[in-house]
């Protein structure tokens, strides 16, 4: 069995990725096993950043590496916060600070104009920094007027996936595991893991 480093410092992502990959023929390694510091996300797109993270953590650790770059795009804000989703309210901002900033930006925006989508780019690099698989997943929905629910992380308390009335943070985990941007991105590349096992 081949080992695969899941290279993210975001615990919410780790939990979801581990569940989504639980049936693959690879042994997952955590970033906690390595003392490698964080990688600067200087890319202009989710795809550039996931590639940058996969390549750079692979070179630092010498392991095949999967990296996720993701975030929220809100149509009324021209696609913001986008690639700066993790630091929308400033570098080091907490999830609740980012959520509060987004809700305040949308304070005057009516029900019908609160369209948004989560985007996730996944890249998988070999131990030398060569990218072998790339994939993107999207999950469409709307932004609520206030945070609701305790499940998940990040913007989950204000994101209502299409076809539902509750936020991701109010819905059962199994629903997010089935239809999230991360699930969509991983679903496309899981069959390819057979190549590295
Ligand atoms: P790594 O770079 O170490 O993976 P990060 O949290 O900095 O961790 P990103 O740069 O990809 O990750 O930023 C993603 C941000 O977008 C994250 O902080 C969340 O706030 C948000 N986000 C991404 N996926 C999400 C999801 O499934 N549910 C809620 N919020 C999400």
Neighbours of 84 (CB within 10 A): 14
Ligand 1: which atom is nearest the Cα of residue 50?
A: 11
From 69, 95, 126, 173, active-site residue: 69
If you take atom 21 of ligand 1, which residue's CA is the nearest one? 71
Phi, psi dihedrals of residue 25, rounded to the nearest 5°: -85, 35
Phi, psi dihedrals of residue 99, rounded to the nearest 5°: -65, -45
Pocket test of ligand 1: the residue of 10, 48, 139, 158 to mutate, having most ligand atoms within 8 Å of its CB, is 10
Return the H-helix or E-strand segment holding 72: strand 65-74
For residue 144, the SS3 value is coil
Binding pocket residue ranges, ligand 1, CB within 6 Å: 8-10, 13, 41, 68-71, 85-86, 95, 98, 118, 152-156, 180, 182
171, 110 contact by CB (below 8 A):
no
The model carries a pTM of: 0.96
Question: Hey, CA dihedral for 93, 40, 34, 130, is it positive or negative?
Answer: positive
pLDDT in tens, 31-70: 999 999 999 999 999 999 999 999 999 999 999 999 999 9
pLDDT in tens, 19-37: 999 888 889 999 999 999 9
If you take atom 31 of ligand 1, which residue's CA is the nearest one? 154
For residue 142, the SS3 value is strand
Rounded to the nearest angstrom, the distance between the alpha carbon of 20 and the centre of ligand 1 is 16
Percentage of the chain lying above the pLDDT 90 cut? 91
Phi, psi dihedrals of residue 156, rounded to the nearest 5°: -55, -35
Tell me the C-alpha distance between 25 and 72, whole Å: 31
Residue 195 — very low, low, confident or very high, per pLDDT cuts 50/70/90? low
The answer to whether residue 69 is catalytic is yes
């Amino acid at each position: 069995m081949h080992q695969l480093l899941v290279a993210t410092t975001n615990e919410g992502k780790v939990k979801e990725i581990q569940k989504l990959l639980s049936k693959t023929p690879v042994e997952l390694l955590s970033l906690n096993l390595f003392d490698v510091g964080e990688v600067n996300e200087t890319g202009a797109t989710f795809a550039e950043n996931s590639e940058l993270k996969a390549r750079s953590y692979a070179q630092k650790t010498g392991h095949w590496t999967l990296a996720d770059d993701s975030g929220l795009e809100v149509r009324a804000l021209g696609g913001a916060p986008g690639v700066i989703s993790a630091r929308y309210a400033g570098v080091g901002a907490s999830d609740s600070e980012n959520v509060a900033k987004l809700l305040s930006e949308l304070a005057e925006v009516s029900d019908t104009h609160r369209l948004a989508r989560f985007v996730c780019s996944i890249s998988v690099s070999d131990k030398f920094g060569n990218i072998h698989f790339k994939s993107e997943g999207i999950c469409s929905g709307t932004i609520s007027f206030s945070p609701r629910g305790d499940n998940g992380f990040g913007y989950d308390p204000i994101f209502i996936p299409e076809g539902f009335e509750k936020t991701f943070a109010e819905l059962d985990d199994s629903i997010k595991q089935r239809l999230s941007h991360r699930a969509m991105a991983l679903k496309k590349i899981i069959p390819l893991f057979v190549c590295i096992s």
